[in-house]
Structures are given as structure tokens and as C-alpha cells.
Amino acid sequence: MKQRNSTLVIGASLVGFSIAVFLLSFFWTPYDPLEIKPELSLTRPSAAHWLGTDENGRDILSNIIVGSRATLVVAMVSVMICMLLGVSIGVATAMSPKWVESPAVFGVDILLALPTVLLAIVLTAVYGPSTSTAVVAIGLALSAPVAQVTRREVKSILLADYVTAAKTSGSGSLRIVRKHILPNLRASLFVQASGASAIAILAEATLSYLGFGTPPPDPSWGRMMASLQQYLIVAPIFPLWPGLAIVITVLGFNLLGDGLREALDPTLRRQTD
């Protein structure tokens, strides 16, 4: 009897919720998030504005809803980039001869050492702040840990007898990757993607907070935190909302990743004879 995987359920629900909000943003928001009404500046949550208004009188709830777009789009696209790049590098290095593998691993290690934010700042300085710059920076930075983990997993798969059997069956390297390595990596990739999503979301929020991500006027949770933080002492409820949005989404992906690992980990079997 499998124990109830509550981590997976909670994680999936939170992620599902975030995605629902994201989809909702295309159809309906209580107010136009960009509409400025200076007379309503910083009103507390009320029946009219459930989460209150920001310093420019913009409805916070609407901004949170539309802000999910920046977050999730950046997260999804950068995760796609980092997975494609990371898995390709991971598989390629694991199967290369030593003289190719060693310098490549060294390169990945260097990339790992670079903080995402630093890379983004460099790229932004060159190309100007935008969603795409953030996406590329995060995607590149995250490809390093993915490459490292993938490389280790592939090396362990390569030790299995069924890979040796594939070689004696005449299978070439490309076929071995296609038929033997990738299918057995699937579980690990799902887990890695969930973890990478959580980091990507946090990274995007950080970049926006610092002014290097999605530029105004497009709503973004990170930038909202930056502009509302000055009211932290006086009225903490304002920066709380975007902060909460970030926490819930990041937590959701983290729990999803943990839950998937629990569900898919074949080593968590009971001890037998």
C-alpha cells in the first residue's frame, strides 16, 4: 500500500492554482491593472479592492493576476531553455571520451559558480532590461546544474548491463541515447524541471526587484515588491501580497518536485530477502 503522497498533492494544487491565475489573467481582471487613480493611492483592502491599491491607485489584485504572466512565462521559457541545453550537455559529456569530458565539466563548474543574478546584470547592461534578457540569463545559468545532475545520472545508466547489451546488439551511440538513456532519464527530468521552475521564478522576481527584468508598465511581482517595500513599516500588508504570490508559486513547484521524486524513486522500496 503506497503511503499518501501529500507533498505531491499539495505541490500540484499550488502549481495548478498559479496556472489557473495565469490563464485567468487573459480573460478577466477586477480592474485594469495599469489604470492610475491617484486619489485611491494606498487604500487598504476593501470590498471594492480586495487587496487594496498601490501608491498610484492601481488595483493590487489585478496587478498580481497579470503579474503572474511575467513570472510564469519567464519561468516556463527559461526552464525549457535550461532543460534542453542542460540535458544535451549532460548527455554529451557523459558519453564523450575523457579528453572532451574533462574540459566540458570544468566549463560547467565555472558556469555553476556564477550567480544567476550576476549573469543577468551583465546581459542587461549589454542588451537592456527586458523579459527576454531575463529569460536567457536564467535559462543559461540554470542549465549548469541540470547538466551536472544529468551527466551523473547518464553515467550511472551507462553502467547498466542493458546498455552493454545494446552495444553487443550493434546499437550505435545515438540509438543508445534515444532508446536507453532518455527514457530512463524521464523521471529525473521531471523532478529537475520542477526544481528549476522554482528557482527560475525566484530568479525572475529577484531580477525584477532589482530592475533588471520585465520593465514597466507590465506588472511584475518582483517590481511590485520593490515599489511597495518602502511601506513595509507603515503598512506591511502591501508588499505582503506580491511576496505571498511569489512564495506560494515557488513553494508549489518545490513541493511538486519533491513529491515527484518520492513518487518516482524506485530505490524507496522496502527491504526484501
178 binds another protein (CB under 8 A): no
Least distance (Å) from another protein to the CB of residue 18? 31
Query: How many beta carbons lie within 10 A of that of residue 136, not counting itself?
Result: 18
Residue 30 and residue 11 in contact, taking contact as beta carbons nearer than 8 Å: no
Instruction: Calculate the alpha carbon distances from 227 to 56, 149, 156, 170, 223 in Å.
Output: 10, 37, 48, 62, 6
Rule CB under 8 A: choose which of 88, 171, 227, 229 binds another protein. 171
Piece in contact with another protein (CB under 8 A), picked from 45-53, 176-184, 237-245, 248-256? 176-184
164 binds another protein (CB under 8 A): yes
Residue whose CB is less far from another protein, 2 or 126:
2
Rule CB under 8 A: choose which of 168, 233, 234, 267 binds another protein. 168
CA distance 75 to 81: 10
Q: State the alpha helices, DSSP H only, in the chain.
A: 6-24, 60-95, 98-113, 116-127, 131-158, 161-168, 173-176, 182-210, 221-228, 237-264
267 binds another protein (CB under 8 A): no
5 binds another protein (CB under 8 A): no
Q: Where do we find the cell 518602502? A: 230
Per-residue binder mask for another protein (CB under 8 A), 113-152, x = binder: ----------------------------------------
Residue 80 and residue 138 in contact, taking contact as beta carbons nearer than 8 Å: no
- Span 179-218, contacts to another protein by CB under 8 A: 179-180, 183-184
> Which class for 147: exposed (0-12), middle (13-18), buried (19 or more C-beta within 10 A)?
buried
Residue whose CB is less far from another protein, 3 or 234:
3
Rule CB under 8 A: choose which of 172, 216, 217, 236 binds another protein. 172
DSSP-assigned beta bridge partners for residue 59: 53
Residue whose CB is less far from another protein, 168 or 234:
168
91 binds another protein (CB under 8 A): no
98 binds another protein (CB under 8 A): no
Least Cα distance to 23 among 66, 76, 84 occurs for 66
List phi, psi (to 5°) of 67.
-60, -25
Piece in contact with another protein (CB under 8 A), picked from 36-44, 117-125, 163-171, 251-259? 163-171
DSSP-assigned beta bridge partners for residue 53: 59
Residue whose CB is less far from another protein, 91 or 138:
91
- Where along the sequence are the contacts to another protein (CB under 8 A)? 1, 3, 160-162, 164-172, 175, 179-180, 183-184, 270-273
